[in-house]
């Protein structure tokens, strides 16, 4: 193992150790916030695989997040299944939905791809509203604490919820790190840079983009299923356009095409909104100003600027 590889694994492993240590020292408010941030950062990691590494700008990722959430929640609420198979049902729902959408959307490129993903996400949102007798629409429904016990562990307990969120984030983070350093991930980066040359070299660009979209959608669905299970709620809001834009902002702020970027961006945006909402009702204006400032002065995002200025080999 080279020195650079050791540094990379030490950095990412160190972040996980730090997050585990914070579990014992953070006050209750920030403890709960960080658990939520880790789940949402896992969602952003899924988005980053498609956008940051493959170069495909999706405006419909809320469809995958909601597929995982409702696949899990409806299985528990109406199927009477336990959390473990319900989580698998949510992840499988995201994989199937992302694969089906990929077969259609990848026939287009550029702006057309963005529009197609947005249209299908809106169709998913309207479907949730249409079947409101089961999904409860915008109001959503709550999963009771008794329904959220996984292998005897009560996930409604803040300590258990934090550890579960950390496990999810750790798996997504290290899987993302492995993927982008593997030959498949390097082909994705090559597609982002020059798809025609990739095809000329004999790689099947369509198959790689299809794989990237399924992996991205599956990770996003896992985050959605975990969010619903850990926080005990499923609602149509999570299928709205807002939740397709959020991961884009998180990835842009943190650094598209960097493994740590999704977490940094999610953490930054979460607390920016949290702090600014205590000052004014126009808190999204403050978030917008921050985004514009970062775009002007750190166009590659926070982790991207670190890679550009300090560590050229940062994945």
Mutual angle of helices 28-48 and 242-254, in 10-degree steps: 90
DSSP 157: S
Please answer whether residues 266 and 143 qualify as being in contact, where contact means their C-beta atoms are separated by less than 8 angstroms. no
Confidence (pTM): 0.95
Q: 223 to each of 38, 44, 45, how far by Cα in Å?
A: 9, 9, 10
Rounded CA gap, 278 and 19, in Å?
Answer: 26
pLDDT, one tens digit for every residue, the chain (315 residues) = 677 778 888 889 999 999 999 999 999 999 999 999 999 999 999 999 999 999 999 999 999 999 999 999 999 998 889 999 999 999 999 999 999 999 999 999 889 999 999 999 999 999 999 998 899 888 888 888 888 888 889 999 999 999 999 999 999 999 999 999 999 999 999 999 999 999 999 999 999 999 999 999 999 999 999 999 999 999 999 999 999 999 999 999 999 989 999 999 999 999 988 888 877 787 778 878 887 888 788 888 888 888 888 777 677
pLDDT for the residue 306: 81
DSSP label of 143: P
Both tokens of 110, joined, read 């550029």
Assess contact for 121 and 115: CB atoms under 8 A. no
**pLDDT at position 1:** 62
Among the listed residues 125, 136, 150, 155, the one whose alpha carbon sits nearest the alpha carbon of residue 78 = 136
Q: Where do the structural domains in the chain lie, given as residue ranges?
A: 10-244
Nearest to 110 by CA among 49, 48, 53, 58: 58
Residues forming beta bridges with residue 150, ordered by sequence position: 153
pLDDT of 184 reads 95
Q: Distance between CA 296 and CA 307 in Å, rounded?
A: 17
CB 295 within 8 A of CB 254: no
Which pLDDT score is estimated for 107? 93
Q: Max Cα separation, the chain?
A: 57
Q: Quote the tokens at residue 65.
A: 């997040």
- C-alpha 315: how far from chain center: 18
The C-alpha angle with vertex 52 and arms to 49 and 57, in degrees rounded to 5, equals 95
User: pLDDT at position 225, please?
Assistant: 96
Rounded Cα gap, residues 263 and 165, in angstroms: 13
Kindly list the distances between the CA atom of residue 49 and the CA atoms of 79, 169, 215, 218, 233, in Å, as whole numbers in the listed order: 32, 15, 8, 11, 27
């Amino acid at each position: 193992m080279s020195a650079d590889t050791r540094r990379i694994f030490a950095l990412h492993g160190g972040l996980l150790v730090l997050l585990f240590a914070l579990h014992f020292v953070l006050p209750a408010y920030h403890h709960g916030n960080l658990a939520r941030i880790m789940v949402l950062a896992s969602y952003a990691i899924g988005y980053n695989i498609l956008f940051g590494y493959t170069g495909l700008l999706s405006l419909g990722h809320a469809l995958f997040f909601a597929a995982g959430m409702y696949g899990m929640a409806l299985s528990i609420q109406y199927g009477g299944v336990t959390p473990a198979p319900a989580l698998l049902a949510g992840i499988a729902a995201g994989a199937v939905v992302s694969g089906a959408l990929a077969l259609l959307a990848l026939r287009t490129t550029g702006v057309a791809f963005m529009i197609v993903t947005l249209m299908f996400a809106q169709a998913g949102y309207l479907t949730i509203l249409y079947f409101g007798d089961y999904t409860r629409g915008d109001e959503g429904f709550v999963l009771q604490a008794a329904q959220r016990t996984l292998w005897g562990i009560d996930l409604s307990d803040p300590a258990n919820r934090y550890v579960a969120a950390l496990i999810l984030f750790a798996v997504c983070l290290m899987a993302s790190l492995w993927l982008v350093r593997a030959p498949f991930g390097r082909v994705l980066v090559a597609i982002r840079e020059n798809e025609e040359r990739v095809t000329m070299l004999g790689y099947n660009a369509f198959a790689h983009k299809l794989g990237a979209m399924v992996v991205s959608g599956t990770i996003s669905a896992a985050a959605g299923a975990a969010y619903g299970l850990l926080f005990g709620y499923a609602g149509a809001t999570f299928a709205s356009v807002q939740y397709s834009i959020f991961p884009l902002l998180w990835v842009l702020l943190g650094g598209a095409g960097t493994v740590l970027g999704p977490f940094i961006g999610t953490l930054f945006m979460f607390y920016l909104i949290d702090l600014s909402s205590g000052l004014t009702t126009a808190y999204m204006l403050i978030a917008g100003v921050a985004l514009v400032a970062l775009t002007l002065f750190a166009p590659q995002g926070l982790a991207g600027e670190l890679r550009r200025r300090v560590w050229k080999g940062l994945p």
